[in-house]
Amino acid sequence: MPLLNRAHAMPDTSLATQRRRWLPAWRAGRHWVLALMLAAAGALVGPGAGAAPFLNDFDLANATIAIDRGGPPKDGIPAIDKPRFVRASSAALTADDRVLGIVLGGKARAYPVRILNWHEVVNDRRGGRAVVITYCPLCGTGMAFEPPAATGSAGFGVSGLLHNSDVLLYDRATESLWSQILSTAISGKLKDTRLQALPLTHTSWADWRQRHPDTEVLSTDTGFERDYGRDPYTGYATVPQLLFDVQHHDARFPVKAWVLGVQVNGTAKAYPFSVLDRALGAHGELRDQLGGQALRIRYNRAHHTAEAVDAQGRPVPGVMSFWFAWVAFHPRTEVLVHP
């Protein structure tokens, strides 16, 4: 029986559900089945694609990039617009659960990936300040943004469209589409406008709680019925195939090897976990220069996390990502090969 969305009384047609149905075909090695499914479900729209300029009700006539239909319709993956939070002591999380953590105004909040897998966007506020928390399960990328004033207070949603296998968000005020990893509007009235990235930590619940004992935690009381105890992407991170192709491939590292991606003053660099592990062991810190700025890269094997800070120890926006996703968006990226 399909899960029901209490707020809309609609069957769960989320991308997570549709992608979950494809995973057994991967694990069996039946790639031709996957190809047929993608051919039936997907369409490519954008520069040079030669397709109609409308997809999922979005006008893509002025799109700057090629766009894939990801499976569900617009808002088929429902954003969380009224997030509720609980104390750390009340959070039903295990030590190894993954969370996205952010500190704003001296207050910490954690957003469990087990919830974000089903929603991908949380429209939150802190002290009158709008914050958009985003997560793409296909790329492993969690990113937080401060939306521009032109998007108003209506928040962001999930378009059901993709570029380079990464989620395309849309703002409800102008219906412009935004690439998560590019952090830029790629179509609509706000095309070429950039989102202000905020430092976000992707780590284990045990690590985040130890750092921030008073953290608040996003509640599973989201207004939607989902089985947040079940991972709809089980097995995805361990297979070398992608559900959707990307425009640039690079075989220097396995497709789904984890990296920390950082961009400073237009210069991008990937810090592969495998290299950090060899250089630092279980945990440690290395110093680097990127885009004319001094950085310190912190790595922790036990909590499977890495992050960048500046010379004063202040967080620098970066993103943990599968290698394929980072290099697809940054084909000229620098790469840490050895310390």
So what's the pLDDT on residue 283? 96
Q: Is the pLDDT of residue 175 over 60?
A: yes
- The beta strands (E) that lie in 117-237 are given as 121-126, 129-136, 141-146, 156-163, 166-171, 177-179, 184-187, 196-198, 201-204, 216-218
Confidence of residue 74 (pLDDT cuts 50, 70, 90): very high
**pLDDT-derived band of residue 111, with 50, 70 and 90 as boundaries?**
very high
> What letter represents residue 136's amino acid?
C
133 and 41 in a common domain: yes
Q: pLDDT-derived band of residue 83, with 50, 70 and 90 as boundaries?
A: very high
Which of 243, 274, 305 is where one domain is finished? 243
Q: Given pLDDT bands bounded at 50, 70 and 90, which one contains residue 52?
A: low
Please tell me whether residues 264 and 284 are part of one structural domain: yes
Domain end: 213, 243, 273, which one?
Answer: 243
SS3 state of residue 39: helix
User: Is 8 a residue whose pLDDT tops 70?
Assistant: no
Question: What is the band of 338 on the pLDDT scale with cuts at 50, 70, 90?
Answer: confident
Same domain, yes or no, for 232 and 140? yes
Statement: residue 34 has pLDDT above 70: no
Please give the average per-residue pLDDT across 93-114, as a whole number: 96
- What mean pLDDT is predicted for residues 53-78? 89
- Per the structure, how many domains does the chain have? 2
Q: What is the pLDDT of residue 68?
A: 83
Contact 192, 64 (CB under 8 A): yes
Taking a C-beta distance cutoff of 8 angstroms, is the pair 170, 74 a contact? Answer: yes
Q: What residues are paired with 307 via a beta bridge?
A: 298
Please check the confidence at residue 1 and state whether its pLDDT lies above 60.
Answer: no
Task: Write down the pLDDT at residue 45.
Answer: 58
Write down which residue in 189, 218, 243 finishes a domain: 243
Structural element, H or E, at residue 273: helix 273-280
pLDDT at 33 over 60: no
- On the question of pLDDT at 32 being above 60, the answer is no
Tell me what pLDDT residue 46 has: 60
Q: Do 157 and 32 fall into the same domain?
A: yes
Domain that holds residue 289: 248-335
Residue 175 sits in the same domain as residue 267: no
Q: Which long-range contacts (CB under 8 A, 24 or more apart) does 57-61 make?
A: 58/159, 58/161, 58/170, 58/175, 58/177, 58/187, 58/188, 59/175, 59/187, 59/188, 60/177, 60/187, 61/187
Question: For the chain, what percent of residues have pLDDT higher than 90?
Answer: 78
| Mean pLDDT across 31-60 | 57
What's the confidence (pLDDT) of residue 5? 33
One domain, residues 233 and 185 = yes
171 and 298 within one domain: no
What's the token pair of residue 141?
């990328």
As a whole number, mean pLDDT of residues 253-282 equals: 97
Same domain, 89 and 59: yes
Please tell me the least confidently modeled range out of 25-29, 77-81, 141-145, 230-234.
25-29
Can you tell me the distance from the alpha carbon of 180 to that of 159, in angstroms, rounded to the nearest whole number? 12
Contact of 41 with 18, CB cutoff 8 Å:
yes
Place of tokens 């937080």: 144
pLDDT, the chain, mean: 87
Residue 84 shares a structural domain with residue 109 = yes
In this structure, of 2-11, 58-67, 305-314, 329-338, the range with the lowest mean pLDDT score is: 2-11
Question: Does 171 share its domain with 288?
Answer: no
| Predicted pLDDT at 127 | 78
Give the per-residue pLDDT at 101.
98
Q: Are residues 231 and 128 located together in one domain of the fold?
A: yes
What is the model's pLDDT at position 339? 72
Query: Do residues 85 and 33 both lie within one domain?
Result: yes
pLDDT of the residue at 29? 34
